[in-house]
Chains A and B, each alone.
Chain A
Amino acid sequence: MSEGLDVSEFITGYLAEADEHLTNASTLLVSLDATMRRRETNPKAVRELFRALHTLKGLSAMVGAEPIVDLAHEMETLLKLGDKAGGKLPESSVDLLLKGVKAIEERVKALKAKKPLEPAPKALVDALAALRVDAPTSTPAAALSLDPELSAKLALAEHEQLAQGLARGRRGRRVDFQPTPEKAAAGFTITAVRERVGKVAELVKVVPRATASGVVFALLVLTDATDAVLAEAAGAAPGQVTPITLNAPAAVAVDVEEDDARDDSEPAARDYVRVEVSRLDDALERLSALVVTRSKLERAVARLRDGSSDLRGLQAIVTENARQLRDLRGAIMRARMVRVSELLERAPLIVRGLSRASGKPVHLDVQAGDAELDKTVADRLFPVIVHLLRNAVDHAIERPEERRAVGKSEEGHIRIACADHAGRELELTVTDDGRGIDREKVAQRAGAPVPRDAAELLDLITRPGLSTLDAATRTSGRGYGMDIVRRVTVQELGGELKLDTRPGAGTTFTVRVPLSVTIVDAFSFGCGDETFVVPVSAVDDLAELEPGQVVATPDPNAAAAHVRLFRHRGAAIPLYLLGKLLGCPGSSAERPKVIVARQGVEAIGFQVDRLIGKQEIAIRPLKDPLAMVPGVTGSTDLGDGKATLVLDLGALASRHAFRKASA
């Protein structure tokens, strides 16, 4: 840049355009971050990002903003390599690129304020340059000698894996495996075959295909073993092993339109589950076992009809059928599981956004582990995580100057950790190193006595009323949305919520939820002539209602569902007439029973007419607004084809209490 050239007239235009490219780059990086966490590539975003930075570099050179040129150049070079490699970028690229964008933003701001520009941060430039070394080199896309139908099922990366293996001189083979009851009896199930083939070959992909004679799995592998070894591992005839070879290099068809479609797929993606193919194969195989049982049943019925057999033969088939149905259910439930790491992949972006909005630098550490959750639980848990993160950033983490004053690092720390407990529960903790929750202040704000311990404090901050109170004083408060956290965790998912807080040192929320809630054990009971169920996990105790155990209380308002006192295990607990709470007509019984449930730390009794039994139920959440009422969590079918309501007793009691309070 020549000294004499006056660039000030360009600056205004430059600033506007630079802003636009930077905003564009940030947006692209966010979507790129999401795709990379899914271990997918987004070549379009990489290319656009490259263009944005390339343009920015050119513009910055024109106004002589050398530090910006340096940064943009390094970023652009990395992106160019990524573009050549079909959109693949090294792992930590997004973070560094985000830092790069931020560094450029700072310098653009400085230009605007007519301040001197700081040189490009050397560490960042070096880190970006270092990444280039790891960048995947471009590979000429090669066509494989594969059935187009199979070829279409391969992801680009799988294509590449096969092509690269072949190029390195490994043998590519396709092994066809068709499960049959005979093979299964000999131990050759698809799961076993996968495992066995996996020992002698690199399994690239298993593609199940429906054919006239049933499901056939095509195993596509790279191997050094002979065809005979492969065939033996798969329990297949040697003729069922066919070679895969490399054809002359040609462009692998990349469906550009599909890439376009993927860009706006983000919001809708939540209703899908990504399933490991092996799990679907497993379910398919269990389904074929059921089909076999059905033909056995047909034969047995035919034999019964001509009198050559009795019912005993049938009994064995029914038992087998029950076992197979259970297996199939298990297989389908496994297919519904999503990785917690997948659930948490958006957490860093959320924290980044909150951190930016609040002006508090926050470092998030995610230890997702390899736990898995049922899709239903995962979907409900996600808002809980968002609320906890938001509370941590907005309320718990102090401002940088405040942190410095008390000897903490300026950057706040939040940690999310997950662990799977005995394959039945997930424990998720959100820990911050912020100011902790002040019991006195919360009590004062809620107009309640000062909580004696963490459990009481948790009860207080998750009170539905408190969030309303808080809305007015949100700047200093905590508890925003905590009632939702509690409701989802405890009432909807049947889990537990715990709190550990130390003033000045930080807070940990522990959420413990079952890995799957679709099927639970439940008690069924009757009020009047209606039947209801309540999950066993929500019930503390069941008791007979003996005369003399109940004490009436004053009833100045002549409440419809008046509370009495019930002596239970040495304590006096409130007792509701559940029939009255639910408005059941004609509810009365000679020997009523009591269901004791727990609401927070408090036990509450509910008088019902009769207990019917305990059984496993599949809860269907009620999604229609017409049917969504507090106290009803879902519906189930007890086997009579009718909808039976699944109740949340605690919510029913608080609904009643609230009506009273607002009456």
Chain B
Amino acid sequence: MTALHVVFKVGDVEYVLPASEVVELESFTQATRIPGAPPYVAGLVQIRGKVIAVVDLRARFGLPAVDRTLDSRVIVVRHQDRLVGLLADSARDVVKISPDEFRRPPEVVTEETDGFVDSIAQPGKRLVMKVDFAKVIGRQELPTAPKGAP
């Protein structure tokens, strides 16, 4: 049984997320900066009346910032009861990958990437990485008082 996956690019690398978790794909123009938020938070965007925090995957993956292009996409993902946006350089196609095609990445990759890579697969001639979404969007402590600020 294969499942559809959305393919998106960050730098030269292709990543995938299960299409069932992706709510929508939106082109990206600008986000409202949130002063005091973690550096990899690009800011807030409004998509169909919903206010969504966007994680800049380039910043999250330690890549240098680039100017946004017409290809830039916000991938809105539902994770438990959160809706979070991922800012990717592009998100063009979907591929079918069956669950048993995914392999655990080599140990050293897991370590070096802080666990952002959940698994890898090679549909056709490509190599794609499935991201660990929960890790990427982080598990912030809820700020309770100014003393919680970094």
| One of B33, B38, B82, B147 near A530 (C-beta < 8 A) | B33
The stretch of A328-336, A442-450, A538-546, A618-626 in contact with B is A618-626
Is B44 at the interface (CB under 8 A from chain A)? yes
| One of A465, A483, A631 near B36 (C-beta < 8 A) | A631
Q: Which residues 524-548 of A have a CB within 8 angstroms of B?
A: 530
Most buried by A among B45, B141, B147: B147
Most buried by A among B34, B138, B146: B146
Residue of B nearest to A650 (CB): B146
Residues of chain A with a CB closer than 8 A to B30's CB: 642
Residues of chain B with a CB closer than 8 A to A625's CB: 138-142
Q: Which residues 616-645 of A have a CB within 8 angstroms of B?
A: 620, 622, 624-632, 635, 637, 641-645
Is B124 at the interface (CB under 8 A from chain A)? no
Residues of chain B with a CB closer than 8 A to A305's CB: none
CB–CB B84/A628 < 8 A: no
Residue pairs across A and B with Cβ atoms less than 8 A apart, 9 shown, are A464-B147, A468-B147, A487-B145, A581-B35, A584-B35, A651-B146, A657-B146, A658-B149, A659-B149
A interface vs B, CB < 8 Å?
464-465, 467-468, 483-484, 487, 530, 581-584, 620, 622, 624-632, 635, 637, 641-645, 651, 654-655, 657-659
Complex Cα–Cα for A642 and B33 (A) = 11
CB–CB B149/A632 < 8 A: no
CB–CB B148/A624 < 8 A: no
| One of B35, B45, B83, B138 near A632 (C-beta < 8 A) | B35
CB–CB B147/A622 < 8 A: no
Is B17 at the interface (CB under 8 A from chain A)? no
How many whole Å from B49's CB to the nearest CB in chain A? Answer: 8
Is B110 at the interface (CB under 8 A from chain A)? no
Given contacts A582-B35, A642-B30, contact A628 B143 (CB under 8 A): yes
How many whole Å from B42's CB to the nearest CB in chain A? Answer: 10
Is B32 at the interface (CB under 8 A from chain A)? yes
Residues of chain B with a CB closer than 8 A to A624's CB: 52-53, 82-84
Residues of chain A with a CB closer than 8 A to B144's CB: 484
The 8 A CB mask of B18-42 against A (1 = contact, 0 = none) is 0000000000001111111110010
CB–CB B137/A622 < 8 A: no
Is B4 at the interface (CB under 8 A from chain A)? no
Residues of chain B with a CB closer than 8 A to A658's CB: 146-147, 149
Is B91 at the interface (CB under 8 A from chain A)? no
Most buried by B among A467, A484, A630, A637: A630
Residues of chain B with a CB closer than 8 A to A644's CB: 32
| One of A484, A629, A643, A654 near B35 (C-beta < 8 A) | A629
Residue of A nearest to B150 (CB): A659
Is B51 at the interface (CB under 8 A from chain A)? yes
Complex Cα–Cα for A643 and B84 (A) = 15
| One of A487, A530, A626, A632 near B55 (C-beta < 8 A) | A626
CB–CB B138/A630 < 8 A: no
Is B2 at the interface (CB under 8 A from chain A)? no
CB–CB A655/B149 < 8 A: yes
Residue of B nearest to A582 (CB): B35
Residues of chain A with a CB closer than 8 A to B138's CB: 625-626
